[in-house]
Amino acid sequence: MAVDIASFKTLFSRGQFDYGETLPEIRDADITAALAEANAVFNLSIYPTADLADLALSYLTAHYLATDVDAADSGGQTRLIQNSRSVDGVSESLEVPDWMKVGEFAFYASTYYGQKWIMLTMPYLGGAVYSVEGATNP
């Protein structure tokens, strides 16, 4: 299965996005644009199965879609990772692991969907390095 508009809507069918053709609803064109952005940075070959690759691509697409919606809602202002907030005596502090907040992962860690993509992808980005005692013959 490849990721397309129908499979995206099926995966995110519990109200994560409000689909429709009237703004501010998410249009098929919005999903298509986000999928194109995700495909531009997506490395299919690092995932061991096609199903896992599709799931990771779907979350990466959702990340780009969420950032596009946030940009439209905020007039294009940058949205930073929230660390804490207080309203009427209620406080909330959200912490993203340090390794997600630095380098190339910082952009993706700014949304729930980007964090899910990182968690699906991270096991395939690193590798194990082993040393074995030995010698060469002259």
Strands 85-87, 90-92: pairing is: antiparallel
Tokens of 129: 């390095």
Please name the amino acid found at residue 26.
I
Q: Which pLDDT band, with edges at 50, 70 and 90, does 117 fall under?
A: confident
Q: Which pLDDT band, with edges at 50, 70 and 90, does 109 fall under?
A: confident
Q: Which pLDDT band, with edges at 50, 70 and 90, does 1 fall under?
A: low
Q: Any idea which of 9-18, 23-32, 114-123 has the lowest mean pLDDT?
A: 114-123
pTM for the full model?
Answer: 0.67
Residue spans of alpha helices (H) in the chain: 5-11, 28-41, 50-74, 98-101, 112-121
